[in-house]
Structure 1
Amino acid sequence: MRLVTFNLWGGRSLTPRARTLAPRRRRPVDLDLLRQAVIELDPDVLALQEVDREQSRSHHADLAEVAAEAMGATDHRFVPTLAGTPGAMWAVSSPAHRASGEYGIALLSRLPVRRWQDISLPGLRPSFSVLLPVLRQQLTVGEEPRAAVVAHLDTPAGPLAVVNTHLTWIPGSGVRQLQEITSVLAEEPDPVLLTGDFNMWGSLPRRITGYRSLAEHLTYPAARPTRQLDHVLLRGDGPEVVASRAVRLAVSDHLALVVDLA
């Protein structure tokens, strides 16, 4: 089984052509490049973060659906966390907002999914002040809502829970969110695979969860990686790791983290 976690960055491109055409926030989304990236990865289970649906910046496409078709997924789930555009005007997502564009996480699988489970994660109040020591200024920001999604899979080796999440970058709050996930999963039988963009690096994810890391590769920023923000962790006796690697693709500012499991 090949498990991949990949922060899509909304499907934006890091190709030389994109860099010359537009600044960082306006880089174009090429759906063909996204399809090619997923085909190249060839995942059996694909965890995606920063996924657009019906966003104007990504041609009003459902990026989870595009990826699912490219990999031949038999089942997938998109979990919206906000409506609108991250970093601009947004609101907490609800069914009424779907037509206006959403953003969130997705989990896709070629293996049968027995059931899905969504987990809402705690966050700070909608707006707060952060001190920027370099500028010696207070910056008021809003924290995006965060979530996790669990796929309970049927595999040839038996049941397996795979969890995808995208945690906040705000110190302390991300720790609480990871603790919430492990608390919710405490009653689930082993094995459990926890993956996603944790926005933390080093041994911290392992120390918080008590899970074992299955892959240690630098994943961010894609052009010249200096840290590992994307992780795959295992709780319990699970499948053996055959190989792992971080892959640079034509889309995203993250490398995709790939783990091949026996």
Structure 2
Amino acid sequence: MAPTAIQPAIFDLRALPPQQRLDHDLGRDLERLAAHRRRRQLRRDPEYRDLRPELVRLVRGFAWDREIPRPRADPAAPLRAAAWNVERGKRFAALREVIAGEPRLIDADLLFLTELDVGMGRSGNRDVPAELARLTGMSYIYANQHVVLAPGDSAERNHGVANELGLHGCALLSRLPIRRFTAVTLPEFVDKFHAQEKRLGAKRALIAEVDVGDGAIVTVAVVHLDPFASARHRARQLRRVLAATAALDDRHVLVGGDFNTSTYDLGSAPGLALNIAHKLLRFGFGGTVRQYMKPDEVFERPVFAALADAGLETAGFNDADTGTIYYDVNDPELITKTLSYVPRSLWSWLQRRLEPWGGVVPMRLDWFAGRGLTPLRPAVLERPSAGGIQVSDHNPIFVDVELAADGRDRD
């Protein structure tokens, strides 16, 4: 189940059954596999070798529903797109309430959703993408990425609900017909079997052609790049996604999702130390904080170079003045996560240095980028909540797009 550079298979949704669910009955088997501490032990396990074909089916699997209960009200209007890392959907009641009450979400034409659970205890063992599709009246395709062998990450261990399926991935929800689709496996920086949230598989980007009428197609890509890696590695992942769009109709392309442009290299302790030293020597502490809102200028430049080399633009597609996530040193869950990869002494120092900002600083991790499209009204919805519960650590981002007349010509 290692990532592959081979061109992924392309499927035509119109030729497939109207609905498909991704399911399995490996519950006890997954518990036994999770007991292995190292990948090499797992590979030597005869049971794992027997189960491997089924595991490959799952980590490369899709689910979908072609039905669109509530089509676009005005086919001539600009396309309304939103992207949101919904943090598993683990605060689902609040998530549902926010989406239902926000016109830019409930009435969106395209929803690029990342971090979606299917049958995970931490999110109530819901099929999060399917439930959100029903809520919004949209069709959907879900691309699975992982079979999760743990209750969750370091801050999600104590909910006490067993996983029924243990699946996690990304999805596109659409109010327009979806034609062909594929998913690109992204190269992993570290083996997630050894992560705190032990899992099999790898991140995948979902790419699909959307029929916008009059013979026009917009190809969209739902992207979630690796936070525990360098900017160069994130750029490598993104280049693989952008190369795959060429196999589809790539005259009009919209890429959206969580690019994890944190400006940090969290792939290793030495890399993180060098990264921090570089920042402080070059910009000082205050200047380093300001870089969080403009990652494209210095520390995440390789990611944006990958977009530019493919002819995609971010200018006009994003609200440049509003963060899409907040680094909040007062957040108990963030404290638990951060202490899992930085020394407590560094954390205490960081808390002191961020006191002038109230311990909260904005960052820009989530992006849209387009080619052959005219962007309109980019926006961010800050810290949406319901009943006093913040839905996700990320903010949803929005952009309306129109087809540009000068979309890339096809041979």
Distance in 2, Cα, partners of 1:68 & 1:105 = 13
SS in 1 for 2:125: coil
TM-superposed deviation, 1:208: 1.7
TM-superposed deviation, 1:212: 0.2
- CA distance change for structure 1 residues 179 and 123 in 2, over 3 Å: closer, same or farther? same
RMSD across aligned C-alpha pairs, in angstroms? 2.6
Partner of 1:260: 400
Distance in 1, Cα, partners of 2:121 & 2:168 = 12
**Cα deviation per residue 1:10-32 (whole Å; 9 max; x = unaligned)?**
124xxxxxxxxxxxxxxxx2x33
Q: Is the CA contact 1:54–1:99 (under 8 Å) kept in the aligned structure 2?
A: yes
> In the TM superposition, what are the counterparts of 1:106-145 in structure 2 within 5 Å?
106-126=171-191, 145=202
> In the TM superposition, what are the counterparts of 1:171-210 in structure 2 within 5 Å?
171=230, 172-188=232-248, 189-200=250-261, 202-203=295-296, 204=301, 205-210=303-308
Partner of 1:220: 325
Distance in 1, Cα, partners of 2:112 & 2:175 = 12
TM-superposed deviation, 1:99: 4.7
Q: Is the CA contact 1:52–1:61 (under 8 Å) kept in the aligned structure 2?
A: yes
Task: Give the TM-score normalised by the residue count of structure 1.
Answer: 0.77
- CA distance change for structure 1 residues 128 and 119 in 2, over 3 Å: closer, same or farther? closer
Partner of 1:34: 95
Distance in 2, Cα, partners of 1:222 & 1:106 = 26
- Paired residue total: 224
Report the residue type matching 2:252 in the other structure. P
TM-superposed deviation, 1:79: 1.3
Q: Is the CA contact 2:205–2:221 (under 8 Å) kept in the aligned structure 1?
A: yes
**Which stretches in structure 2 are left out of the alignment for 5+ residues?**
1-78, 155-162, 263-294, 329-359, 386-390, 403-411
TM-superposed deviation, 1:44: 1.0
Distance in 1, Cα, partners of 2:233 & 2:198 = 13
**Cα deviation per residue 1:231-255 (whole Å; 9 max; x = unaligned)?**
10012x21x2221111131210000
1:156 is aligned to 2:213: yes
SS in 1 for 2:368: strand
Q: Is the CA contact 2:89–2:116 (under 8 Å) kept in the aligned structure 1?
A: yes
Of the candidates 111, 114, 117, which is equivalent to residue 52 of structure 1?
117
SS in 1 for 2:251: coil
SS in 2 for 1:221: strand
Distance in 2, Cα, partners of 1:118 & 1:225 = 34
Identical aligned pairs, as a percentage?
25
Task: Give the TM-score normalised by the residue count of structure 2.
Answer: 0.50
- CA distance change for structure 1 residues 160 and 222 in 2, over 3 Å: closer, same or farther? farther
Partner of 2:145: 81
Q: Which structure carries more relative contact order (alpha carbon 8 Å, separation 6+)?
A: 1
- CA distance change for structure 1 residues 51 and 128 in 2, over 3 Å: closer, same or farther? closer
Q: Which moved more, 1:60-69 or 1:120-129?
A: 120-129
SS in 2 for 1:199: coil
Of the candidates 332, 346, 370, which is equivalent to residue 234 of structure 1?
370
SS in 1 for 2:130: helix
Partner of 1:22: none
Distance in 1, Cα, partners of 2:114 & 2:172 = 9
SS in 1 for 2:131: helix
The structure that has the greater radius of gyration is 2
Q: Is the CA contact 2:207–2:245 (under 8 Å) kept in the aligned structure 1?
A: no
More helix by share: 2
Distance in 2, Cα, partners of 1:159 & 1:256 = 24
Of the candidates 71, 74, 87, which is equivalent to residue 9 of structure 1?
87
